Every structure is written in structure tokens, then in C-alpha cells.
Amino acid sequence: MGIPVIPLPWSVGADPRALRTLARHARRRWDVVHVHDTHALRLMTYLAALEGSGSRIVATRRTVAPTRSAWKWRRAHLILAVSESARDALIAGGVERGRISVVPEGVDAEGLEAQGSTVLRDAAGAKPDHFLVASLAALGPDRDHATLMRAASLVVKKYPNARFAIFGDGPERGRLESLIDKLDLEGWVCLPGFVEGARSSLANMDLFVMPSLREELSTGCLEAMWAGVPVVMPAAADGRLRAEGIEPVRRGDAAAMAEAIGRFIDEPDHRAQASERARAYARAHRAEAMVDATLEAYEGVSGPGRVSR
């Protein structure tokens, strides 16, 4: 797309090599530096303290977890929280309300309209009469796939036509493979890894489960909702619904998750209603709206007409 990319050497949270590289480029005095995670915010905070900076720092906050260190977030000129719950968690951690703007994540619809591929069901080995419960997420410690596994062990005892597929790879794969063996879920739960072309096959899922520990909404959730697939996901810490079309369950509660999944299997009308709510929510939260709100935020911190880079 012709957009310059600056690679940073980075092996630890505040790698001095990354600081040196970033400092060299930041001297160009960008209007806005948008940091997309805590590590990037830490780097820019150190850089601003060491050298000073004419750039305005905008940070994104995607989780509802309490802030471990509010001082970094207070040094951002503006924080874009992806939800009211994420905003409230920042405020509870000591960040001023006026420093926070809520900009919900948006779904990029390009490539999602042409649903029809069977690549996900094929990768999962799911037959036409199987009820496919799927999750698309990196297999990392920020996901509670273990609870999903335990829920699956309860579901398959009652619904022999249910199949579970957790798509993605990551450092937790070995532990999850061991859990499949321990719970005797071979043939019921599979780990197909990364599947090329998955976005054109999302409608092939019967139910999407996102066992996130802290994240509000993932791209995978929004894309599944765009395809009309209902979502089961742990509720926010305050019990608040994350989005219409999402069935909230208690975090870490395998029995509650199994019950929610079972209801979607038992009640087609419930599934159809959740599908319509999910589809409506995703279409009301397009990427274009997120981009417009982000650009407006940039203008707000840098001054009208200043944002050019």
C-alpha cells in the first residue's frame, strides 16, 4: 500500500535497541503516535521522558482487566477504550475520565460477504449432521481454552452429534493436547491449527465460543457475528453484556458454558434470534465507523487540520 514500515528490534519489554531505533525516527515530530498495546505505550513513555516529544500519544485499551500500572496510561494524551467496560476499568485504576474516549472495534467486511466455503468444517472433520462449535484464536495464556475443553466434555455426553474445533496455534497447544487426552475427548475435540481461507467459511460454524479472560471483543467474534453465527463468551467483570448476539457466561464456569452451548443445540429458535442480533450488531460496527472515530480523536488531541502523517 506504499505505507512505510519501521521494524523494531525487540526481545524484552523495554529493549534499548527498540528505544534507539524509535527515538531516531520519532525526532521527525509526528503529529500523533498511536500505540496499540502496553509494551508500545511503555516505550513511548520512556522516550518522551528521556528526550521530550512533540508528538501526541494515543493509546488503545482492549481489555477489562484492572490496570497494573496506571502511570503509563496517565501519560497518554488520549486513550481509546474499545468499550464502556474497558473505560470503566481504566477509571477504577486511577485514569481521568476526560482522558478516555470509547471507540468500539469495527469489522472489516471485505472478504466476508462471499460465505460458502466448507474449509472450516472440512478441517474439523465435521459431517453435515454434526453441530460444530468452534473457536478461532491464538492458543495463548490470555485464553481460557481449558474451560472450553471441560465444557466440551460435558456437552458431548448429552449431545453425541456435537463436535468442537479450536482453530489457531500458540504456546498452549501442547497443554491442550494433553487435556484432550486426559478428558478422553479424542474424536470430539480437535486442534486443526491455522486454516487458510477461514474468513470465507465462518457461516459453516453453528456456534462460536471465545473463552477470553480479559478481551472485550475479538476480531474473530465480530467476523463470526457478521456471518450470523451466535457467540458464547465470558461476561465482563461487572456482568455486562459485551455485545448483542453474545451469550454471556461466568468466567471459568465450564458447567455454565456447557449449559449455554446445549441451549443453542436444543432450541433452534433461540439460535436464530441470537444469529439475527449478532448480525445486526456487526453491521452496526463496521471498520469505517471505527476509522472515522479514530481520526476524529487524532484531530482532537493534535489540533484541527494538523493530522497529516
The DSSP result for 116-171, as a single string, is: ---HHHHHHT--TTSEEEEEES--STTB-HHHHHHHHHHHHHH-TTEEEEEE---T
Q: Give the pLDDT score at 239.
A: 59
pLDDT 10s per residue in the chain (309 long)? Answer: 898 888 888 776 667 888 888 888 877 778 888 998 888 888 888 888 776 667 889 999 988 777 777 888 988 999 999 888 889 889 988 899 999 999 988 998 888 887 888 999 999 999 999 999 999 988 988 889 999 999 999 999 999 999 999 999 999 999 999 999 999 999 999 999 999 989 899 999 999 999 887 777 788 889 999 999 999 998 766 556 567 778 889 889 999 999 999 999 999 999 999 999 999 999 988 999 999 999 999 998 876 545 444
119-133 exposure pattern, b = at least 16 Cβ within 10 A, e = fewer: bbbebbebeeebbbb
What cell numbers appear for 171 in the block? 504456546
Residues 73, 41 contacting (CB under 8 angstroms): yes
Distance CA 4, CA 247 (A): 41
The one-letter amino acid code at 229 reads V
- Among the listed residues 285, 308, 303, 269, the one whose alpha carbon sits nearest the alpha carbon of residue 103: 285
Q: Give the pLDDT score at 308.
A: 45
- Among the listed residues 38, 80, 33, 87, the one whose alpha carbon sits nearest the alpha carbon of residue 291: 80
Residues 57, 51 contacting (CB under 8 angstroms): no
**Count of beta carbons in the 10 Å neighbourhood of residue 287:** 14
Coil vs helix vs strand at 87? helix
Which residues, in sequence order, are bridge partners of residue 162?
A: 131
- Write out the E strands in the chain: 32-35, 56-61, 78-81, 100-102, 131-136, 162-167, 189-193, 207-209, 231-234, 246-249
Distance of CA 17 to the CA centre of its chain: 29
**Count of beta carbons in the 10 Å neighbourhood of residue 279:** 18
In the DSSP assignment, the letter for residue 114 is -
Residues 223, 203 contacting (CB under 8 angstroms): no
Distance CA 288, CA 83 (A): 17
Residues 171, 85 contacting (CB under 8 angstroms): no
Residue written as cell 528526550? 51
Coil vs helix vs strand at 248? strand
Residues 170, 140 contacting (CB under 8 angstroms): yes
Q: Give the pLDDT score at 231.
A: 94
What cell numbers appear for 230 in the block? 451466535
Residues 107, 291 contacting (CB under 8 angstroms): no
Q: Give the pLDDT score at 79.
A: 95
Domains of the chain, each with CATH number or no CATH = 16-106+287-302 (3.40.50.2000), 119-283 (3.40.50.2000)
Give the angle subtended at the CA of 181 by the CAs of 173 and 260, to the nearest 5°: 80
The CA–CA distances, whole Å, from 154 to 189, 199, 211 equal 12, 29, 16
Which residues, in sequence order, are bridge partners of residue 34?
A: 58
Coil vs helix vs strand at 229? coil
Q: Give the pLDDT score at 309.
A: 42
Q: Give the pLDDT score at 269.
A: 96
In the DSSP assignment, the letter for residue 204 is G
